[in-house]
Chain A
Amino acid sequence: MYNERLQNVSVLGAAGKMGSGILLLTAVEMADLQLKPENKNKSFCLNAIDVSPQALTGLYGYLKSQLKKIAEKKLIQLREVYKENRELIENSEIIDQYVDDVLKLVLFSTKVESTYESSIIFEAIVENSDIKVATFKQILANSKKDPWFLTNTSSVPIGELDEKAEMKGKILGFHFYNPPAVQKLVELITTKNTNPELIEFSKIYAKNLRKVLVPSNDFAGFIGNGHFMRDMLFGIKQATQLSKEMSLPEAIYAVNRVSQDFLIRPMGIFQLMDYVGVDVCQKILIVMSSRLNKSELHSDLIDKLISLDIKGGQNSDGSQKPGILKYEKGKPVAIYSIDKKEYVPIESFQKNVDAKLGQLPASHKPWKDIVGNKQKESLLVGYFKELKSMSTIGASLAKEYHLSSKNIGLELVSDKISDNADNVNTVMLTGFFHAYGPINSYLD
């Protein structure tokens, strides 16, 4: 079943941030199947479909360079795979051949009609329920196969898509994290209706891709964005309150620093918003607040930023575009001022604000020294104990933030979005690279 299904696959939105990664991983998985001796005479086809022809051209370059890196990494296995081909002798020849063999599977197309022969369809087009539904309907009405759909939606409930497009359980949420080729986490969202064979397929696929699969229940935002969005709103609230004592850019700087340095996270909350895209955050909030009927899932600040065209997101080379923060070589250097409609250099107020926040606990180590550390647990216990005993503004903000993050986690469990605390923690550890899960007892 698995092999057959994978003989003809389509990725919709293949040139996008998520689609390109999904395409790459799927291409490699399909090529590895094809290169098995028993599959020599079977044909495999992967349709890379995107409405934007320019973007597809860029996709070719991305695939080629990434495939080369992948081949270099697994060369020892590849020499084994190509053992019988006596003409391929040097590593470089084997690498080139592999890149070629994978690329040969990929057909680039701008037409949704290309999906009609596919048994598996990954969907990673814009986060818009109506467009997704319309696309699914069109495919189901015309497909020559009985396709299964794996959607990458960040927020739209799967049940809603299933019902509106009349998919009879042939869809599930297979929610990769950005960038899919790197991030280990995939959230798996199924409903009562989901076809068990499709679930089985997804599990094998995830395993072959060496992903960590975490089940989430079918509530808008799921676990990952469920936590992130609420965490973000808390950060915005904290900054807004703080802006009574300082300018808003200063307050944003302060909270960004608290959520990164004081909480030992890979990046501050405002930088994370830029990384994901302020516009994407807005879209996710809209879907979540309407589906969950929670009007508090909304931010005036985000709406304001979007109206001023402050969006963040990444350039095609993976570098960060300016958003709430402006970056040089990946490091924040300025913060956007809504009043002045320009970026204010961090330098101009950094000393003052840092002095107000106060020192980091003496036992502080940056995230990168903690995350892979063998003594991580004891280091964190010691660190938070020290933080707890401090009463500087920075420490107080950090403690509030930390507790809010924990409560958000607990709520995801009590609201039955996550089956248990472990799943919440795994999502934040693997999908957001946190050094520790939000549901912890460090500050108890």
Chain B
Amino acid sequence: MRRKVYMTAGYNTISLGSGRKEFNPKKPRPGIEHYIKEAGQATLKMVGGAKNVDESVIGNFMSSRFVKQAHLGAFAPMIDEGLKHKPSLSVEGACASGGLALTSGIRSVLAETADVVLAIGVEVQNTVKAIYGADILAGAGWFADRKDGHAYFFPGQFSNRAGAYFEKYGREKTRQAFAVWFKNAIENARLCPTAQEYENKVEDLIGLALTEPNPKGFTDHLNVFDCSKVSDGASSIAILSEEGLAKAGIPKSEAVEIVGWALVTDDITKQPEDPTVLSTVGQAAKKALANAKITVNDLATIEMHDCFSVAGLLTVEALGLAKPGEGADYIINGNTARNGKLPFNTTGGLIGWGHPTGGTGVHQAVTIWEQLTGKAGAAQITIPQNRSYGMTLNMGGDDKTVVAIVYKRAE
């Protein structure tokens, strides 16, 4: 990279939705502005105030439908008057919108148009029942496919992937891996106070996750425990140059350095060539790792896009951690657990922490920043000296837009 880029000052609101004590579907809830403000102000405070920020970018997917609000860039000056008359924009790439906010900030720092960028990701989705939310989220796919798609469009897409995988490699073990995935997600979430599943008290998580899918009420091959939840929430983080860090008065030990990144897209009008493969995810990871001049074996932890358990499994294979058809074993054998070979999603990921769609990419970066700088609290894992890198993989749609970023603790 032509210039060093850092991230610091991460913050997550709670992921609000079913499962959280505060959540009551019948009562009014905070609006999207509340989330933008809470997250944005927290980061501003850590970087010494709005005066230090050159530019803001807000990642969001579908506020125009969920809350009938577009033009989110102009919410930045609401966070702090100090952002008035400064650049601010919103970016959208379905569930990779948060990741796009990060790449947008990284580009601006690289282009030397900013030294400090405030990057926020936000989504408020509990405004409609899940059945109508499915319509809105279907916008992440090609609209021409909507008519013949499932009522729950995206769960339907990934159910098809799961079905294809079952057919090719067997159902029972794969479902078992999904269940282990769910268990890891919930157990990690229980360590993170902002997680949607923080207060999950279920004892037999595996048993619950093995509930047979019910095609009459949901999809053919996935049950609701295979899915991320409906969430309201925001995350924010600062993206800075070396000068930016100095301006904000933040020591490097409090920051992570971006050592590689990639933004990869595929044709939204096409169905996946092989439904058992997440090829765009694979490409993005490969490029970002190459960019960082490391391999997957150098990673201490990874935050990836488990919008569905099957996406978790397919990502394990896309990363080359297991051969095609062997991802289930990799998961069942505990490699992705927090004490495993490569801990995945240490605060619960999309299934456990929550999935405020446009916010997720930023949330992933915040988690990696926390882990690499020792700020993850009860969820903290040990970062081995010889494998000190972290990676985020943020996916939009059905493997269509993927942002991969590689981090290491700044020195």
Contacts and interface: CB of A to CB of B under 8 A. Distances in A.
A89 B142 CA distance: 12
Interface in A59-84: 72, 75-77, 79, 83
Interface string A81-97: 00100101111100100
Given A90-B135, A91-B134, A72 B146 contact: no
A92 B135 contact: yes
Contact of B146 (A77, A90, A95): A90
Contact of A91 (B135, B216, B218): B135
Interface string B141-159: 0010011101100000000
Contacts of B218: 76
Interface string B211-235: 0000111100000000000000000
B147 A91 contact: no
A65 to B, nearest CB: 13
B345 to A, nearest CB: 30
B147 A89 contact: yes
A95 B216 CA distance: 16
Given A90-B135, A91-B134, A92-B135, A72 B147 contact: no
Contacts of A90: 135, 138, 146
Contacts of B151: 75-76, 79, 91
Nearest to B144: A89
Most central of B135, B143, B148, B217 by chain A CB within 10 Å: B135
Given A89-B146, A90-B146, A91-B151, A72 B131 contact: yes
B132 interface: yes
User: In terms of DSSP, what is the predominant structure of the interface of chain A?
Assistant: helix
Interface residues of B, number: 16
B256 to A, nearest CB: 41
Contacts of A89: 143, 146-147
A265 B146 CA distance: 47
B257 to A, nearest CB: 44
Interface in B103-142: 129, 131-132, 134-135, 138
B159 to A, nearest CB: 12
B25 to A, nearest CB: 14
Contacts of B146: 89-90
Contact of B129 (A72, A79, A88): A72
A89 B143 CA distance: 9
A86 B147 contact: yes
Nearest to A85: B147
Contacts of B131: 72, 75, 91, 95
A90 B136 CA distance: 9
A95 B134 CA distance: 13
B217 A76 contact: yes
A381 to B, nearest CB: 25
A91 B139 CA distance: 13
B126 to A, nearest CB: 16
Contacts of A79: 150-151
A232 to B, nearest CB: 34
A73 to B, nearest CB: 8
A79 B134 CA distance: 13
Nearest to A94: B151
B160 to A, nearest CB: 15
A92 B135 CA distance: 8
A177 to B, nearest CB: 25
A83 B218 CA distance: 18
A90 B215 CA distance: 19
Interface in B1-32: none
A76 B153 CA distance: 11
B147 A92 contact: no
Given A76-B218, A89-B146, 20 more contacts: A72-B131, A75-B131, A75-B151, A76-B150, A76-B216, A77-B216, A79-B150, A79-B151, A83-B148, A86-B147, A88-B147, A89-B147, A90-B135, A90-B146, A91-B131, A91-B132, A91-B135, A91-B151, A92-B135, A95-B131
Interface of A: 72, 75-77, 79, 83, 86, 88-92, 95
Interface of B: 129, 131-132, 134-135, 138, 143, 146-148, 150-151, 215-218
